[in-house]
Chains A and B, each alone.
Chain A
Amino acid sequence: MVQPKLKSKVRCTDRDIGEVTRVILDPISHDISHLVVSLDGDGARQVSMEHVRAVSESTVELKIPSSEIAALPPFNRGDYVTTHEVEISHLEDNLDVVPGEVLVPLPDLEKDIKRRTFFMNFTHAIGFLIGLPMVYPVLRYLMKPMYAPFDNGWLKVGNVGKIKQDDIGVQFQYKKTVKEAYMPEAEIEKSVWILKATPSVLDQIYQGKDQEFRDSSGKLIWTNKKDVPYVAFSGKCPHLGCAYKWRQHKTLGEVFLCPCHLSIYDAAGKVLDGPAPRPLDALPIKVAANGDVEIIDMEFKAGVKSQIRIM
């Protein structure tokens, strides 16, 4: 059915009664539900679309007599808002009540332009060419500090005189001077676990072979001899990088236990329980005649089976 137009004459079964001044939309269906009919000199009424028999270009024919229309309650503008004052999306999509289309002329310069698509693509291409040379410098800019060479310097961490018992993890806290990028030199606190291992534990750790440490070019830095009883474990848990402790466990006795995700290691660093994927990481250790201990502070990637050095 053609939609009723504004200003259309409204005709009842008996006579013309006025004209359409407004239409009312159903907020759910978005269809016209009522017409507001201005009666000649007698206010306005809202007439349901159910009463409409036919709609033509300039008239709306109703199924009911004028007396029924006149008997309807007067139209109350305050019960409604305009479509500009309410947020119902697509409300006017299937609405065509204005008399024809409302048009605005194109500016002269916009008439008969043939290559709109070309200009659109050209715009995108230039935008892309502006962005392109930025990608690599920005990426390099942000990546600058990501990969640092390894520091293979020896650090004094204490004296083994502190260790009173064999096969017991003893924490050595030490200060390390770091110089990061533009920052002034700063001291950070780190810790390493050192134990004096009995031959059986040593054998578990070294499995009968000296342990060699190499730098990134493959050059030998240090060898932990398999018969030196002092072993240093990096303080970093190989699971997700927390710091573990030496603790009494209910059933497993004295163990290394990580409070984060509850990985448990024995004195040789072997995983007894919990999520850790590999044993504790032994570090290069050097014990002087007077008992002073030095280590090379290495860190390995957590969460992987193999030891991958990251610093």
Chain B
Amino acid sequence: MRQPSVSNVPSTAVEKIVAFLDQRVGLKEIQAKMLNEPIPGGSRWAYVFGSILLFLFIMQAITGVLLMFYYVPTADHAYASTQYIIHEVDYGWFLLGYHFWGSSAMAVCVVAHMSQVFLWGAYKPPRELLWIVGLALFGIVIGFGFTGYLLPWDQRAYWATTVGVEILDKTPILGDFMARFLKGGPTPGQLTLSRFFVIHVMILPAALMALAGLHLYLFRVAAPAGPFRGTPEEIKAKTDYFFPRQVWKDIVGMAVVFAAICGLAFWEPVVLLEEATPDPGEYHPEPEWYFLFYFQLLRLKMFSGEFGQFMGAVALPVIFMGLLVALPFFDRDPERNIFKRPVALISWIAMMAIMAIFTVSAVINREFLD
């Protein structure tokens, strides 16, 4: 059994309980290890996104479990039970709205977190595995968004899934199998809903917890990268521990994100369209806003025809992710200062510009469809 790390004799009841637990669990040592991590160059607002993502995930898990108290994943009840949550259950609209906007917040924070790591050159050796596990987590977040979108079983849900799975179907050789495997048949239906539900509430959460744990572990092994400029003496002089300054910044960031999600849930509540059916009526299918740029991209003439579609639907995302995975291996230059890495800086700006331009043009395009 471990010795208590603090030797003063406990006097009050609370202190005795804490001492009892500490002796058996090693609480104080765990707490000290968690909080006393040196952050080279000191805490920064730019570092808050990882913690915010962890917070967002916990909140998604909590609201998700609460939604499952009423939600029924069957083609004949999914829509009705979701409407019941929105219109009948006290604060159901809020919890559903929180879960819905929380997923958007997650997409935003994932991009912010990845951008920060990219701009700071923090993916470079010895943090290659940390970066790659992060990319896997990025894929999981996308998977969450995609599978969760089907569950309300309204027209928006149905069509986003129909088109999304068709994109997967364009994979050479395996595409047809993967699409049918995911749909549980040739077209979306009950079995698709069951599969997406299991993936969304069991498989992805388990995968995310495992990989996020690995991500944090690798982060702790590699230690934070710190700022991209400054002499070792300057960095050492500004170094502080994770607690309290960084924890303070993190919690402020979480509070801001929390308030934003609550605000959106309140002012932009989730409104379902008609129940899902293979005839969309007057509805113009569209994916969730953070996929809009890609949706717009697939409208380009260069991605037309069978080969063009393969390029747009399969080759482009695979090459993009492949480049990100390979990044720390071909970018061997130890220089981390983004202002001395013109290719990296220009690529990042170009990527953000493409996403912004295509998202905006998708929104503008809406007007011309009616």
Contacts and interface: CB of A to CB of B under 8 A. Distances in A.
Interface of A: 27-28, 81-82, 84-89, 142-143, 145-148, 173, 178, 180-181, 183-184, 186, 188-191, 235-236, 239-243, 257, 259-262, 274-277, 299, 301-305, 310-311
Contact of B280 (A180, A243, A275, A310): A243
6 contacts: A27-B38, A145-B191, A180-B189, A240-B298, A275-B303, A277-B304
A145 B184 contact: yes
Contact of B223 (A88, A148, A190, A299): A88
Contact of A86 (B38, B236, B295, B301): B38
A276 B280 contact: no
Nearest to A84: B29
Interface string B1-28: 0000100000000000000000000000
A247 B108 CA distance: 36
Contact of B169 (A190, A236, A243, A301): A301
Given A28-B232, A259-B285, A299 B187 contact: yes
Interface in B111-154: none
Nearest to A235: B279
B187 A310 contact: yes
Interface stretch (B48-56, B99-107, B306-314, B319-327): B306-314
A88 B38 contact: yes
A12 to B, nearest CB: 29
A84 B176 contact: no
Interface of B: 5, 29, 32-34, 36-38, 40, 74-76, 159, 162-163, 166-167, 169-170, 176-177, 180-181, 183-187, 189-191, 220-223, 232, 236, 239, 241, 277-280, 284-286, 295, 298-301, 303-306, 308-309, 312-313, 365, 369
A108 B370 CA distance: 82
Closest 9 CB pairs of A and B: A85-B32, A275-B304, A259-B284, A191-B279, A146-B180, A310-B186, A189-B277, A87-B37, A86-B36
A277 B37 contact: no
B190 A180 contact: yes
A235 B306 CA distance: 20
A240 B294 CA distance: 14
Contacts of A305: 305-306
Nearest to B175: A303
Given A87-B36, A274-B304, A275-B299, A241 B280 contact: no
Contacts of A183: 74-76, 190
A105 B205 CA distance: 42
Contacts of A242: 159, 162-163, 280, 285
A299 B308 CA distance: 22
B220 to A, nearest CB: 6
B223 A89 contact: yes
Nearest to B38: A27
Contact of B184 (A84, A146, A236, A301): A146
Contact of B186 (A276, A277, A311): A311
Given A86-B33, A259-B369, 20 more contacts: A145-B185, A146-B177, A146-B186, A147-B186, A148-B186, A180-B185, A180-B189, A191-B279, A240-B309, A241-B163, A243-B279, A243-B280, A260-B159, A274-B301, A275-B298, A275-B304, A275-B312, A277-B308, A277-B309, A304-B306
Nearest to B181: A146
Contacts of B239: 27
Given A86-B37, A148-B185, A180 B279 contact: no
B75 A85 contact: no
A84 B5 contact: yes
Most chain B CB within a 10 A radius of its CB, from A88, A146, A190? A146
B304 A276 contact: yes
Contact of A28 (B5, B187, B236, B306): B236
Given A277-B306, A303-B166, A304-B306, A189 B279 contact: yes
B181 A275 contact: no
A178 B189 CA distance: 10
Contacts of B186: 146-148, 299, 310-311
Given A86-B37, A275-B308, A304-B306, A241 B162 contact: yes
B176 to A, nearest CB: 7
Nearest to B365: A262
B189 to A, nearest CB: 5
B172 to A, nearest CB: 11
B273 to A, nearest CB: 13
Contact of B29 (A27, A85, A260): A85
Contact of A261 (B74, B176, B298): B298
Contacts of B183: 146
B169 A302 contact: yes
Contacts of A143: 181
Contacts of A178: 189
A189 B283 CA distance: 14
A145 to B, nearest CB: 5
B28 to A, nearest CB: 8
B279 A85 contact: no
